[in-house]
Amino acid sequence: MPEPTKPKVTIPPLNSRQSIPQTNVNKTQNIVDEIVKTIDHLADGLKTYPIRDLVKHAEQFGPYLKQQRLETNQVRKFLDAVNRLKADLAETGEFAKVETEVVLLKPKLAYAAARQKAAKPLGEVMSAAIDKVHSKEDFERLVQLLESIIAYHKAEGGK
């Protein structure tokens, strides 16, 4: 009886550009795509983003941002603007009074991403989320998403 042939395994050289880090880039780009796709498919606004999915995505996305060397000071203007809107909304309770400012968060993200490559994935995710904010409840879910991402980023050692 003939001996079964073993498949040949080729291992790329260590100096190859398509080594382990490339695998991580593809794997982690998938988390950005997965979050954006999930958000894009929410028919009734961001408030319908299941909280367990939100936390699961943040748990994967936070460490990815740390790996990309994102520092919170690189998106500080965006974070400060969100916190200011959160306070304004808590004070007035009227989403219509902050809606314009919520939409104007997108240029702040674009600016941060243009200045620092590491901010681009966060910009992609948060821009998709901002597009789904049409009510106070949607904005509250946006804040939960951002706070969860930042929490997992910091837990991973992000600054």
60-117 pLDDT, tens digit per residue, is 999 999 999 988 887 888 889 999 999 999 998 899 999 999 999 999 899 989 988 9
Structure-block tokens of residue 94: 């009227």
Q: Is residue 60 part of a domain?
A: yes
pLDDT the model gives residue 87: 94
28-to-55, 57, 98 alpha-carbon distances in Å: 16, 11, 33
* Residue 9 domain flag: no
Does residue 76 lie within any of the structural domains?
yes
125 lies in some domain: yes
Cβ partners under 8 Å of residue 80, min gap 6: none
* 79 inside domain: yes
Determine the average pLDDT of the residues in 40-51: 95
On whether residue 19 sits in a domain, the answer given is no
- C-alpha–C-alpha distance, residues 108 and 155, integer Å: 25
Q: What's the confidence (pLDDT) of residue 1?
A: 58
Position 25 in a domain: no
Asked whether residue 24 is domain-assigned, the answer is no
59 lies in which domain range? 30-156
Q: Is the full-model pTM beyond 0.85? A: no
Number of folded domains that form the chain: 1
User: Token pair 């395994």 is at which residue?
Assistant: 9
